[in-house]
Structure 1
Amino acid sequence: MRAVTAEARPGAPGSRVVRVRHYVAGGCENGGGIGRLVGYIVATADESRVAHRVTDTRGPRWFAPISLVRLAWAILSMALDRLFVPGRIHHIHVAGRGSTARKLVLAGAARTLGCVHVLHLHDYAYADDFAARSPRQRRLVRAMFRGADRVIVLGNGDRMMLETLLGVDGRRIEIFHNCVPDPGPRTLRIAPAPLILFLGRLSERKGVPELLSALASPAMAGLRWRGVIAGDGPVAAYREQAAALGLSGRVEMPGWLDSGQTRTLCQNADILVLPSHAEGMAMAVIEGLAHGLSVVTTRVGAHEEAVIDGENGLFVPVGDEAALAGTLARLVSDPDLRNGLSARAREAYLSRFSMAAYQLRLEAFYEAILSQDQARVHAR
């Protein structure tokens, strides 16, 4: 039987502070979009209400000797919490592939130890990942999600997938759209050479090859614009591809940026482009809305829950280089269109994707989990 306790909240006699440990491959610095989201949560949290800790379950990248030690340390941390901080909620962030393998171990440890734990699914095609697994692995994955106290997903599509494919009770699933801290209002402007910005891992899945082709197209050739394609991945190879297309003087590829560098770049950009083939809910899209950029992306994952075509952003078909080139050329040529999308992007962010609202929901979510667990313990 697990007994859940809560610690006194500083400055509020009789109330409690919720303790949470996040498990993220790569931590906040090397965890990609997941790490960036968790970093934002930790940086903006009110520690008098929710105290967050982050445990890296892998290291900067998968390297067996280091990664296995990281995973073992994560399990030990969970066990020590069970002894000394039994009320801590264990918030386990999971994606497909190797992430699921690690989280099967962590979630199994949480169930064995009797820890309150949440699974937070971040993936661009988890149904496909699940289908590619062996029957035994599928049983384990189903048990992992069904055994969690709660499951968080990024959008309605993942919610339906968990209910229909994995058999998770819909009452235990919560949708939390990704969010970012408020960078402040944007001043509407007419840039003589608009800056087109891409944020994300440089890869085919993110649509980088067709983005480069679109930027090198005749539709863009005679227009004034600048481009930055920022992110990790095979940067050198994509620089070579850009050079071969004649883009070296117009497009920069600085590699991966931290949150401060990303914010500075967004403040100077005009258009955010992410022509992905698959996503959950891309952090880059939310960054674009928050900074009041003209967002160009694809109808994948939960993007249609954030972007309304022609209202606060523009959609292009997946893999359609001509449509992407035409849309970017239209935005570069039309400052009034950019400014209109910019204003409505900020409105969408403030009404639905602000960090302040996210934190309040997350606090209530954690409190509800603890309250329900305490009720179950007292009922036994």
Structure 2
Amino acid sequence: MNAFPLDAVPSPTTDGLDTVMPAGSRAAARCRTVLIATDTYPPDVNGAAYFSHRLASGLVARGTQVHVVCASDEGSPRTDIMDGVVVHRLRSAPLLVHPTMRVTVPAGLGRTLLRLIGRVRPQVVHVQGHFVVGRAAIEAARRAGLPVAATNHFMPDNMFQFAGIPARLRGRVGDLVWHDFRRVFARADRVTTPTRIAAELLSAKGFTREVEAVSCGVDLHRFQPQPQQWARQRFELEDRPTILFVGRLDEEKRLDELVWALPQVLNRVDAQIVFVGTGGRRPALERLAARIGVGGRVRFLGFVPDAALPQVYSAADVFAMPGVAELQSIATLEAMASGLPVVAARAMALPHLVADNGRLYRPGDVRELAGHLTAILTSADLRASMAKASLALAATHDHRRSLARFEEIYAELIA
């Protein structure tokens, strides 16, 4: 990865070297150019950041020139080339309500984005949210006469923990956030979200525009079944039936339900839970596991680089997703593509991902959750049939289909 001043526009060259074009000049494009605007991008760890990165790098691999504009992970502005994508990182400040994320400084942002659009000359702007960068990018695109695609990954539940919103006020705050969303996304030419249920949610919240469901998709070449014993050795996991969760260890994921379920599972099978990811709930989960006597059967692997995630899934026997604010769940798709049965909360879009490949449980019903996990872990035949069903269902979410659909949307907007 190479870094450049923000006022220079680097362009990947065909010989694999990176060249810097002075501001105001631009090499002749051989394919359409897309500017993806997002408030969160790797090294941020969340679903929207992962989707934005995989969309950008996937489009580049298919021949589209892609620029991404996002908050700087370090504070100062700079431009990098990352996996063939030109990433323009904007001046940022710590987000006071979140321990690790940063937010783009709004002052002068509109002028900065207009100058960037003038240098990059994208044919389409694709925003990934309605917050600071997203709304400024829509405004800049409109002033530049460019079409806008917009994808929603957000639910208010994702912010309540960090913002410290009391339960009694969450309904009112959620209404205000949805009102802001409707106002910003109404200015886009095309709106998408990962699932039909997520699209229905926007309609239920008063968004009157048509919303297309386009799956986040999963790379079936990267995520596929691999030898379990080798994977467990790599992550120094004990060789016993393993329940896996991958994602943020935050409030809306309801991971305490998994820990509470473990003693009931242990009555029938010598199991362990492996948590992969970081988040504010880890200390509480560690204390809970110790208090109820299962601390030795709960492992926290912390952050695992994206390149190693396929091996993480292969170390498990079943994947659990207790979250109640999932507009799709990239991690669940990856688990399915890795051949894992899934036990998930019957909430939001998760029922779209669970059929013969797993079981759904009522959020909060720890007994039902434990029963499903126990049934799967104690039956090799059931695991095998569910694994086969997971692979078949994951195949319908091949990321190449998603990339092709976004390319079609861009072409329609350009036309």
Q: Does the 8 Å CA contact 1:125/1:280 hold for their aligned counterparts? A: no
Q: Does the 8 Å CA contact 1:108/1:144 hold for their aligned counterparts? A: no
Q: Does the 8 Å CA contact 1:125/1:279 hold for their aligned counterparts? A: no
Distance between the aligned counterparts of 1:303 and 1:45, measured in 2?
27
How far 1:138 moved relative to its partner?
Answer: 6.3
Q: Does the 8 Å CA contact 1:59/1:70 hold for their aligned counterparts? A: no
Q: Does 1:122 align with 2:153?
A: yes
Q: Does the 8 Å CA contact 1:200/1:232 hold for their aligned counterparts? A: yes
Secondary structure of the corresponding residue to residue 67 of structure 2 = strand
Q: Does the 8 Å CA contact 1:197/1:269 hold for their aligned counterparts? A: yes
Q: Does the 8 Å CA contact 1:279/1:301 hold for their aligned counterparts? A: yes
| 1:69-119 Cα distance to aligned partner (Å, 9 max, x none) | 55558645531243233333222112xxxx635533443333334332221
Which of the numbers 366, 389, 394 marks the counterpart of 1:344?
A: 389
Distance between the aligned counterparts of 1:224 and 1:136, measured in 2?
47
2:192 match = 152
In the TM superposition, 1:1-380 aligns within 5 A as 17-47=31-61, 49-57=63-71, 59=73, 63=94, 67=102, 69-71=104-106, 75-76=110-111, 78-94=113-129, 100=131, 103-124=134-155, 132=172, 140-163=180-203, 165-170=205-210, 173-182=211-220, 183=222, 185-186=224-225, 193-217=240-264, 219-234=265-280, 235-308=282-355, 311-350=356-395, 352-371=396-415
How far 1:168 moved relative to its partner?
Answer: 3.3
Indicate how the Cα distance of structure 1 residues 185 and 125 shifts in structure 2: closer, same or farther if over 3 A, else same. Answer: same
How far 1:133 moved relative to its partner?
Answer: 5.0
Distance between the aligned counterparts of 2:109 and 2:175, measured in 1?
27
For normalisation by structure 1, the TM-score amounts to: 0.80
Indicate how the Cα distance of structure 1 residues 278 and 68 shifts in structure 2: closer, same or farther if over 3 A, else same. Answer: closer
Secondary structure of the corresponding residue to residue 301 of structure 2 = strand
Indicate how the Cα distance of structure 1 residues 75 and 257 shifts in structure 2: closer, same or farther if over 3 A, else same. Answer: farther
Q: Does the 8 Å CA contact 2:341/2:358 hold for their aligned counterparts? A: yes
How far 1:196 moved relative to its partner?
Answer: 1.0
How far 1:321 moved relative to its partner?
Answer: 0.5
Q: Does the 8 Å CA contact 2:327/2:348 hold for their aligned counterparts? A: yes
* Unmatched runs of 5 consecutive residues or more in structure 1: 1-9, 372-380
| 1:257-302 Cα distance to aligned partner (Å, 9 max, x none) | 2212322201221211011222211111111111110111012222
Q: Does the 8 Å CA contact 2:157/2:325 hold for their aligned counterparts? A: no
Answer with 318-327 or 254-263: which moved more. Answer: 254-263
Matched AA of 1:334 = S
Q: Does the 8 Å CA contact 2:128/2:151 hold for their aligned counterparts? A: yes
| 1:26-67 Cα distance to aligned partner (Å, 9 max, x none) | 312204111112222233334453222222237479616995
Distance between the aligned counterparts of 2:55 and 2:383, measured in 1?
30
Distance between the aligned counterparts of 2:41 and 2:108, measured in 1?
13
Distance between the aligned counterparts of 1:260 and 1:70, measured in 2?
31
How far 1:22 moved relative to its partner?
Answer: 1.9
Q: Does the 8 Å CA contact 1:90/1:115 hold for their aligned counterparts? A: yes
Q: Does the 8 Å CA contact 1:81/1:88 hold for their aligned counterparts? A: no
RMSD: 3.4
Secondary structure of the corresponding residue to residue 319 of structure 1 = coil
Matched AA of 1:87 = P
Matched AA of 1:100 = F
Matched AA of 1:358 = S
Answer with 63-72 or 178-187: which moved more. Answer: 63-72
Matched AA of 1:179 = G
> What is the count of residue pairs matched by the alignment?
350
Distance between the aligned counterparts of 1:250 and 1:135, measured in 2?
41
Secondary structure of the corresponding residue to residue 147 of structure 1 = coil
Q: Does the 8 Å CA contact 2:39/2:103 hold for their aligned counterparts? A: no
Q: Does the 8 Å CA contact 2:45/2:248 hold for their aligned counterparts? A: no
Q: Does the 8 Å CA contact 1:23/1:55 hold for their aligned counterparts? A: yes
Q: Does the 8 Å CA contact 1:116/1:149 hold for their aligned counterparts? A: yes
Q: Does the 8 Å CA contact 1:145/1:168 hold for their aligned counterparts? A: no
Q: Does the 8 Å CA contact 2:39/2:133 hold for their aligned counterparts? A: no
For normalisation by structure 2, the TM-score amounts to: 0.74
Greater helix content? 1
2:9 match = none
Distance between the aligned counterparts of 2:176 and 2:47, measured in 1?
30
Q: Does the 8 Å CA contact 1:124/1:301 hold for their aligned counterparts? A: no
Higher RCO structure (Cα 8 Å, ≥6 apart) = 1
Secondary structure of the corresponding residue to residue 44 of structure 1 = helix
Q: Does the 8 Å CA contact 1:57/1:74 hold for their aligned counterparts? A: no
Answer with 250-259 or 320-329: which moved more. Answer: 250-259
Indicate how the Cα distance of structure 1 residues 139 and 195 shifts in structure 2: closer, same or farther if over 3 A, else same. Answer: closer
% identity of equivalent residues:
21
Matched AA of 1:28 = P
